Amino acid sequence: MENYRTPVLTASVLAPPAVCALLTPFRAHFDNANAALLLVVVIVAVAVFGIRLAGVIAAVSSAVWFDFFLTVPYDSFTINSSNDVEQAVLLLVIGIAVTQIAIWGREQQAKASRRAGYLDGVITTSQAVAAGGSTDDLIDQVRAELTAVLGIDGAKFVAGSKQTQAPRLNPDGSVTRGSHVLKVERDGLPTNAEIELTVQHAGEPRGRFLLTAASRIARPDLEQRLVAVALADQVGAALATQEPARPHI
């Protein structure tokens, strides 16, 4: 987004007055409702980039320059006609609404894409377990998946059933420190301690992943955390038949 943020913001300011200026020679013979529709198209063109500020600026700019260029008295920010006032206000409201809808659509598309990626990761891991390959390779694969899915710095694996008092990512996706449930979406994962993700099979602990999120605030949502639990469970199933041959730190 950063690559095109500046050009889109610039377009949101300049495109509406440019369109209005182009319509100026025809304003005496051009229905203002049609001009407003053209400006809505401009707002939509800006909004599809998913930058809320740009969409709002385009909506405000369209309403202002619609008033200046296309309503009587011309070349003035005064509006004499109540119909023109209504059109200017509607242009602003519709422009902001269109921006919100466009951003919502992009967010839904991004969520669907992430879900597809999570599913691919779980399926790939399941296939590796079913194929009966190297447990060490599987652990390394899941470490990489956990790092990507949770947006953390890294993950290491420790075999055995030892439990500690470290923060814990639980099977239901919650993160706890002792008896306290952490608000991950608001505050992020702990940065001052490793987070334990137990690896188990049939209720029996086989080891744990130690998740590190020290260099930045990671705020994985519940869906991402449940994917992490599912990945760890796949490792647990593999460890039921084959122990790792080397450390994974």
| Exposure of 174 in the CB half-sphere (CA atoms within 13 A) | 8
Work out whether strand 204-212 and strand 195-201 pair parallel, antiparallel, or are unpaired.
Answer: antiparallel
Two tokens at 123?
């399926």
Find the mean pLDDT for residues 57-73. Answer: 91
Write b or e for each residue in 58-88: b if 16 or more Cβ atoms lie within 10 A of its Cβ, otherwise e.
bbbbbbbbbbbbbbeeeeeeebeeeebeebb
Q: How many CA atoms lie within 13 A of 88 on its CB side?
A: 22
Q: List the alpha helices (DSSP H) in the chain.
A: 2-23, 32-47, 52-70, 82-131, 135-150, 184-187, 222-239
CATH number 3.50.50.60 given to 134-239: no
Whole-angstrom CA distances from 90 to 56, 85, 102 are: 14, 9, 18
User: Three-state DSSP class for 247?
Assistant: coil
- Per-residue confidence band for 154, with pLDDT thresholds at 50, 70 and 90: very high
Burial of 3 (0-12, 13-18, 19+ CB in 10 A): exposed
* Domain extent listing, the chain: 2-108, 134-239
Question: Residue 156: pLDDT band by 50, 70, 90 thresholds?
Answer: very high
- pTM for the complete prediction? 0.63
Residue pLDDT, tens place only, 98-111: 889 888 888 888 88
For the segment 29-48, the average pLDDT, to the nearest whole number, is 89
The answer on pLDDT for 2 being more than 80 is: no
Q: What average pLDDT does the segment 46-51 reach?
A: 88
